[in-house]
Structure 1
Amino acid sequence: MAAAVGFSTAGVSPAAASPAETRSVADRLNLADLPPTAPARETSLLATAPGERCQPTATHSKARRSGATQACVSVRTSRRPARATATGRAPQASPSPSALAAGTGSCTLAAPGVYTYERFQYCVRGVEVLYTLRDSNGREIGSGALDIATSASLPAQGTTWNEHVTTTMTRASGQVTTLSAKFRSACSAGCKATKTAPWFGANLTVGQSVNGDVSYASTPAAGQQLDFTTSYTLYVTTPGAQATDPNASWSNPRKIRCDDAVRDTGAGGTASPGCVVPSVMAAVEMSAEPVSSSGQGAAAAAYHWAQRNLSDGWGFKKPLTRAKSGVADRKSATCGSFQARDDLVDNATCAEFPFAAAREGGKDGALCTDIIPNYSSGGWDYYDGSAGSSGIDTGKACTRAHVPAADLDAAEQKLAGDFTAQRVLDAEQFDLNVTAAPAQAQATCLQDPPARSFPSGTGWIRNTTEPVDQRNKTTNPPGPAGHRASVAQACLGKTLKRGTAAAGDITGWQDAQLFAAANSPGTGLARCHLIANILGGKGSRVGDQNNLVPCWQFGMNTGTPSMRTYEYMAQTEVKEPTFGPNDAIFYEVIPRYKDVTSTIPLGVEMTARIERANGTSQPLFHEEFIPNTQGGNGLYNLGN
């Protein structure tokens, strides 16, 4: 029996990492940090003709009898543009449907006479039409003012829409006490005003309003887009007088587009025309919530990381451009050489950014940085996914993310759906907004994964190593210098990921075989996982074997008590109904070695602490020492 007298302690402070270790946590996104978004909004100042347009009053009219020889009309607007972002793409509060119907809502954010636009809306308020009576000397003897507001919502699916018009008499003086207002709408080629008058026979006094709808239609052919503008005329007089000509007229400063060009018309399919304000950039919306919560999960989280960390910031700093053709080729250029980390991500696949569905996609995969987004209650941890890398490289031109296939499928479906919903045409630019619901409180170890850890389920695992003079010290000749496993830590969330089997010529394995042959021939040896396979621990790949130490199969690995005893306690605890989705177990295993030359530990010390999302904690087990001896007799400690 080997005596367990005096052993080297692998400390809990960070130990040297194995040269083969390639994963590290580099960044975190808390979902609570993602701001809500609303439709992009832009403004344009209404251009009006300067001065008045006048004509003589009719002989024998009431206005002529009161001394007025001319009736004049002018359109006035404020010259102060509304405060807005430079690009018009910043999130803002969205108006309510009732406000839009009343001609207010988003227009209340703009100064009078300033048009406000969203992708599917336009409106204006404070267009003032002034009616003035003048005598033969040009002196004003009476006036009245009308305030006009209009608003419209464009159909994402369909090509007919209404525009709501409200006219209010705001003031009067002198010989003018009542005004008659006749409104007419029109539109340019590509559109037809199907109902031009919102009302008939409106006589207004100060404080009175009249409102109604005008209507439009456009009929683009398959694959066609039609651009046009709407225009307006207001005939204003005193009751019973002939309408003033010229009258008050103005046009919408921005074009409207109706199209049937979003779908791939070459492949047939159902017609799907719709209308937008094309100068307001479309925005694809994705949620970084997990797919189980109806989000786009790891794919959306990866896109958000790329937007904020890569220099081009596509879809955030710079717009993306839809490209219908060549998608498969661009996907292949970026992801063709991709090696999915199925050992870390279930059913892993390549989520490229910029998208292959965008002109900016298709970058050489060798120019991309590989990342692994991993959800841990309330946010995403980002890990290095590039073999041989010492950290995530933010100087690359693109990103390839290792994400579950279900997450990528959800993201690609959302992208395609928003191309239709936002009517993004081929070669049209668009933004990408990533949002989420507020994050929830979470266990302490989930909040800040340490450096050199890697994702596992909804938690993380961290293995460390320390140098040793020979990887096997009893062979002839002794082995070369290398590393032996040191402190292993894990933050075990509600969802555990199955690890991988143990394999390979790990440090001390040949020493263990020689010891067993000399002392207990035929007795089974094992490569013990420090973080158990059932808890997500790895062991099959080069670089994962720093999670393994030589041990007796029946003894330290299995039996009662053994490592399996405590591993099962942790596995069982996370399945308990009282263990919440934001709770975790901080789990630590420390190999204890005889001295600095040892290649096999004398045993392992195991500790686990339950951490609750509410900040409380309690031990699951504490500093349980499992000797590296045979089960049943406690003999033949493998430690050297």
Structure 2
Amino acid sequence: MSVVATGTAAADATPPLPSTTPGAAATGKAAESPLSEAPRHKADRIDLGDLPRVAIPAKTRPVTPTRGENCEPTRAGSRERRAGAVQACVTISPKPAATAGKRALATIPPAAPAAADEGSCAITTPATWYYNRFQYCAYDLTVLYTLKDSNGRVLGTGTLSVSTGATLPAKGKTWKEQVRVMMTGATDAVTTLGVKFRAACSAGCTVTDPSPWEGKSLVKDQIISGTVEYASAPAPGTKLDFTTSYKLFVTSPGAQITDPNAAWSNPEKIRCDDDVRDTANGTGTPAPGCVVPSFMPVIPMGTLPNGSDAGAAAAGYLWGQRNLADGWGRDKPLTRAKNDIADRTARTCGSGGSKPFQERTDIVPTDSCGEFPFAATHEGGTDGAQCAEIIPTHSTGGWDFSVLEGGAGKRCVRAHVPLADKQAAEGQLSDGFTNQRVLEAEQFKVDISASVAEPQAACLRASPTDAFQSGNGWIRNTTDPVAHRNKNTTPPDAAGVRAAMAQACLGKVPGTGSPAVGDITGWQDAQQYARPYAAPGASAPYGLARCHLIANILGGKGQVQDGGQLNLVPCWQAGMNTGTPSMRTFEVIAQKAVKDGTIGPNDAIFYQVTPDYQDSTSTVPVGVTMTARIERADGSTQPLFPDVYIPNTKSDTGQLNLGN
């Protein structure tokens, strides 16, 4: 904020107020209002580019297991028992087996959720809960499975990484929680683990689908994911508080287990209510919704003029936040009041106070009283005689303020603002109460900025529930099941998944990719095919590469721990990966469009790569189809490149297709 000093020079910059009221010329009488006699001082200025934002409350907490190590006898006749293991023990550990590069569940949470079933985590710290008002996530909880012999000696271990996350519905009675389990380690006698997951919640909530999957087994580096579903139905005018809890069943494949051997709970309460709207004064229709109530709501309000925002009204409130003794809504929270709003308005602006507000339509043609603190709060309703009185005026890049009465340190402010701006501000406040689910007597803050919302490209406004954040955009990888991860080896490999369609929303802020590694699906099949065509004496991988579907240079992942194995397919290095044309050709086109100004700050590129497989058993694609379009913030689109097919052939020969 830049402040212009008060005094004669500042006063000379703006003409004084007229010395008569609008009707004085006809009567010949001087105005009786002290406002008409006061000079109109340009006393303050706030530059929109300097506005600090009110922080969206969020916090983290460690995940605490609800039980210690749990041991069960191995099944008689099982492979584990034949190997000498008599006990299988499961422990939840706060320390991960490996922490580098693991992928967060999804996106950095916005002030209000974009969709009711997104699982979003702005966190990369293992064994940690993350919360904001609409989101709760548990990231990278390590579960260790250990086989022991009769002397307690360890015969093998299996390590699982568990992450969950949900976005609560601002409007709605149901939501989903994304669950992701990855087998990150296996030693000695442990090669495969059976995993079941169950979610529960306390009174006030129902788990309509407690299990994200049934009968799943995992091998090292494999990921399984799914959703559990919840519902809560508070009666009109009521609220319900409850918590969620989780149980993980880990065992060797084929073993039957009835007791959970890993369990933990969400320490923060969730609230669902049907009590936001005030039906008594007809401000709207009640609708249920849910929040994490321990996190204070923040209501956005914009100051852009000319009808695009709350304009002068929001600017007047901003002046109040900066200059009133209590800094309401910024330094100290406000408290919502659903009743007696008209009485509080009258005390500050009307005949209910000792000094009613006097409109100055000679200065502001549709003048109205923009009171702060709001009449819709328990802090509002101060006698208008105790308020500062200001006129906000927009100028390039900010707002100038003429202080007519009082100044810094007053208990309230009355701003002379156009009626349309006051109505827009009231609408933004009402929408904020609804979107942030602010109940009677609940505290909140107000984030007054240059604009409440700027238009964005379609793919930036909403991301798929199974996408993860990349820069200011997102990436989504999908998979197909295959009977064998490598089908031509002897013997064929175990069942698994192969990379399928990959999508990305590439914003102006690029994400960080990672190089390709690992024994991905089809990697052994591909090397077996390529070996005879390699140069004499050449070593593995015989001219092959692990091709990123979403390129490393575009933020695509390729590591084991960051989930990048789902983004990789076997390919010829010289051929499908590099060359002219190749995948690299079109990846560079997209990269340049992000960097060279082709897209603006709120535009994006929607980018998609789909592997082409011969049939449902294939582990290596015969090629990929690539397509990309530019999505503009104004809603328009244009192709960056149309559907382009890149075959998985060697060099530029068009021969030796690697697909199977």
Could you say which TM-score interval applies, normalised by the shorter chain?
Answer: 0.5 to 0.7
Q: Secondary structure at the match of 2:426?
A: helix
In the alignment, does 2:70 pair up with 1:53?
Answer: yes
CA deviations 1:265-320 (Å, max 9, x no partner) are: 4568644111111112111111010142x210011011111112222111111111
> Retained in 2: the 8 A contact 1:222–1:265?
no
Partner of 2:362: 343
CA separation of 1:271 and 1:382: change in aligned 2, threshold 3 A: closer
> Retained in 1: the 8 A contact 2:66–2:265?
no
In the alignment, does 2:288 pair up with 1:273?
Answer: yes
Deviation of the 1:45 alpha carbon: 2.2
Cα separation, 1, equivalents of 2:274 and 2:109:
30
Matched AA of 1:143: T
> Retained in 1: the 8 A contact 2:234–2:274?
yes
Deviation of the 1:344 alpha carbon: 1.9
Cα separation, 2, equivalents of 1:184 and 1:297:
50
Partner of 2:207: 193
In the alignment, does 2:76 pair up with 1:62?
Answer: no
Q: How does 1:344-383 map to 2 (within 5 A)?
A: 344-383=363-402
Matched AA of 1:136: S
> Retained in 2: the 8 A contact 1:233–1:248?
yes
Which range is displaced more, 190-199 or 149-158? 149-158
CA separation of 1:436 and 1:375: change in aligned 2, threshold 3 A: same
Q: How does 1:337-486 map to 2 (within 5 A)?
A: 337-386=356-405, 392-436=406-450
Match of 2:137 among 111, 123, 130: 123
Cα separation, 2, equivalents of 1:267 and 1:350:
21
> Retained in 2: the 8 A contact 1:55–1:70?
yes
Match of 1:178 among 186, 192, 214: 192
Q: How does 1:176-255 map to 2 (within 5 A)?
A: 176-243=190-257, 245-255=259-269
Cα separation, 1, equivalents of 2:10 and 2:199:
76
Partner of 2:313: 299
Deviation of the 1:437 alpha carbon: 5.0
> Retained in 2: the 8 A contact 1:54–1:246?
no
Matched AA of 1:130: L
Match of 1:22 among 39, 48, 53: 39
Deviation of the 1:257 alpha carbon: 1.2
In the alignment, does 2:327 pair up with 1:313?
Answer: yes
Q: Secondary structure at the match of 2:121?
A: helix
Match of 2:92 among 67, 72, 75: 75
Matched AA of 1:194: T
Matched AA of 1:210: I
Partner of 1:325: 339
Deviation of the 1:436 alpha carbon: 1.0
Deviation of the 1:326 alpha carbon: 1.4
> Retained in 1: the 8 A contact 2:111–2:298?
no
In the alignment, does 2:273 pair up with 1:256?
Answer: no
Matched AA of 2:415: A
Q: Secondary structure at the match of 1:25?
A: strand
Cα separation, 2, equivalents of 1:381 and 1:223:
43
Partner of 1:290: 305
Matched AA of 1:342: T
CA deviations 1:301-350 (Å, max 9, x no partner) are: 11111112222111111111101111111111111221222222222111
Cα separation, 1, equivalents of 2:40 and 2:135:
48
Q: Secondary structure at the match of 1:357?
A: coil
Matched AA of 1:353: F
Cα separation, 1, equivalents of 2:204 and 2:431:
27
CA separation of 1:423 and 1:149: change in aligned 2, threshold 3 A: same
Q: How does 1:153-168 map to 2 (within 5 A)?
A: 153-168=167-182
Partner of 2:542: none
Cα separation, 2, equivalents of 1:199 and 1:93:
26
CA separation of 1:178 and 1:96: change in aligned 2, threshold 3 A: farther
Deviation of the 1:42 alpha carbon: 2.5
- Count of residues in correspondence between the two structures: 409
> Retained in 2: the 8 A contact 1:54–1:244?
no
CA deviations 1:16-75 (Å, max 9, x no partner) are: 999954221111111112256775422222222463111222333322221222211111
Larger radius of gyration: 1
Q: Secondary structure at the match of 1:185?
A: strand
CA deviations 1:242-264 (Å, max 9, x no partner) are: 32734111111211111110122
Q: Secondary structure at the match of 1:106?
A: coil
Deviation of the 1:119 alpha carbon: 2.0
CA separation of 1:95 and 1:144: change in aligned 2, threshold 3 A: farther
What percentage of residue pairs aligned between the two structures are identical? 53
TM-score, normalisation: structure 2: 0.58
CA deviations 1:368-416 (Å, max 9, x no partner) are: 1111111112210011122xxxxx5201111111111111111011111
Cα separation, 2, equivalents of 1:22 and 1:183:
71
Matched AA of 1:299: A
Deviation of the 1:78 alpha carbon: 4.8
Matched AA of 2:242: F
Cα separation, 2, equivalents of 1:195 and 1:13:
67
CA separation of 1:68 and 1:99: change in aligned 2, threshold 3 A: farther
CA separation of 1:65 and 1:328: change in aligned 2, threshold 3 A: same
Cα separation, 2, equivalents of 1:167 and 1:182:
10
Matched AA of 2:155: I
Cα separation, 1, equivalents of 2:10 and 2:93:
74
Matched AA of 2:342: A
Cα separation, 2, equivalents of 1:97 and 1:296:
22
Matched AA of 1:276: V
Cα separation, 2, equivalents of 1:300 and 1:270:
26
- If asked which structure has higher relative contact order (CA below 8 Å, sep 6+), I would say 1
CA separation of 1:99 and 1:167: change in aligned 2, threshold 3 A: farther
Partner of 1:608: none
Matched AA of 1:52: E
> Retained in 2: the 8 A contact 1:372–1:384?
yes
CA separation of 1:12 and 1:400: change in aligned 2, threshold 3 A: closer
Matched AA of 1:176: V
Q: How does 1:500-511 map to 2 (within 5 A)?
A: none
Cα separation, 2, equivalents of 1:12 and 1:322:
42
Cα separation, 2, equivalents of 1:324 and 1:35:
29
Cα separation, 1, equivalents of 2:411 and 2:111:
38
In the alignment, does 2:76 pair up with 1:43?
Answer: no
> Retained in 2: the 8 A contact 1:237–1:244?
no
Which range is displaced more, 398-407 or 266-275? 266-275
> Retained in 1: the 8 A contact 2:56–2:111?
no
In the alignment, does 2:157 pair up with 1:140?
Answer: no
In the alignment, does 2:31 pair up with 1:31?
Answer: no
CA separation of 1:248 and 1:231: change in aligned 2, threshold 3 A: same
Deviation of the 1:435 alpha carbon: 1.0
CA separation of 1:70 and 1:96: change in aligned 2, threshold 3 A: farther
